[in-house]
Amino acid sequence: MPTDPPAFLTTQNKHKIAYHKIPGSQPGVVFLGGFMSDMTGTKAVALESWCQLHGIAYTRFDYSGHGSSSGSFQEGTIGDWLQDAIAVLDQVTQGPQILIGSSMGGWLALLLTLRRPQRVAGVLTIACATDFTERLLRPALSTQQLKELEHDGVTDLPTKYQETPYRIGKALLDEGKEHLLLHTPIDIHCPVVMLHGTADIDVPAEFSQMTLEQITSSKYAQLLRIEGGDHRLSSPEHLKGITDALETLIDKVI
């Protein structure tokens, strides 16, 4: 894994966003990570290596409250992390970009495309968690957790991915309602490829299917179901599937 220190940019919200960028040809690639993930994850780094090998510009970054960026995770919202992604696209990259969004990053990639359609040449999602705050997170909260959110403004979410729970704030759920996509057509015109494991127990593959059905404006939009694939899709076999899908997408947009 690369050990060079990250560069930083400052957003309008005064967040210091950490990022790594390698130069190369366009369209470039921007990786948007998942909920409580950072840019040192297996997929983010493997995709950087693939892009470097093929001479393609590549950018990965940490949302505020994640990884090496400033800010508090429990105070973060979908809107905050979307603004971070917009800042990276606007200030760090040049020319057309392909967005790769993993889990929550898939939702953010779609939202970013809607806000910067002229800059986004294509979208590749991995286990896309569209509208997860309302369709997955809120229904999973216990009565006690909902009471804690109302009374204390925060609650803890046990997770299998680390020993300590995630602490989320009430604003994550409340503000998330402003960015829901699945209730209306998603007006994206660039090529879209969605990957989703059939054995994903964190975000069921139906989420990508529902999302695909709302992307009616794109002339090329498809869902590839990865048989037996889990949520992370980080094995060598699955990483090869992701880079193969990226290569196909690049061929569609150049």
CATH of the domain at 114: 3.40.50.1820
> Which one is catalytic: 200, 202, 208, 238?
200
> Which one is catalytic: 103, 179, 196, 208?
103
Query: Mind listing the pLDDT tens digit for each residue in 90-115?
Result: 999 999 999 999 999 999 999 999 99
Q: Which residues contact 203 (CB under 8 A, 6 or more apart)?
A: 103, 127, 128, 129, 132, 136, 196, 231
Mean pLDDT of the chain: 96
Query: Mind listing the pLDDT tens digit for each residue in 22-45?
Result: 999 999 999 999 999 999 999 999
The pLDDT of residue 162 is: 82
Q: Number of folded domains in the chain?
A: 1
| Residue ranges with strand state E in the chain | 7-10, 16-22, 25-32, 56-61, 97-102, 120-126, 154-157, 166-169, 192-197, 221-226
Q: 134 in a domain, yes or no? A: yes
Q: 4 in a domain, yes or no? A: no
Q: 64 in a domain, yes or no? A: yes
Q: Count CB neighbours of 162 within 10 A.
A: 9
In this predicted structure, the answer to whether residue 1 has a pLDDT above a threshold of 60 is no
Q: Which residues contact 5 (CB under 8 A, 6 or more apart)?
A: none
> Which one is catalytic: 20, 179, 196, 231?
231
Q: 5 in a domain, yes or no? A: no
Q: 135 in a domain, yes or no? A: yes
The pLDDT of residue 3 is: 66
Residue 28: domain span: 18-253
Q: 183 in a domain, yes or no? A: yes
238 is catalytic: no
Q: 11 in a domain, yes or no? A: no
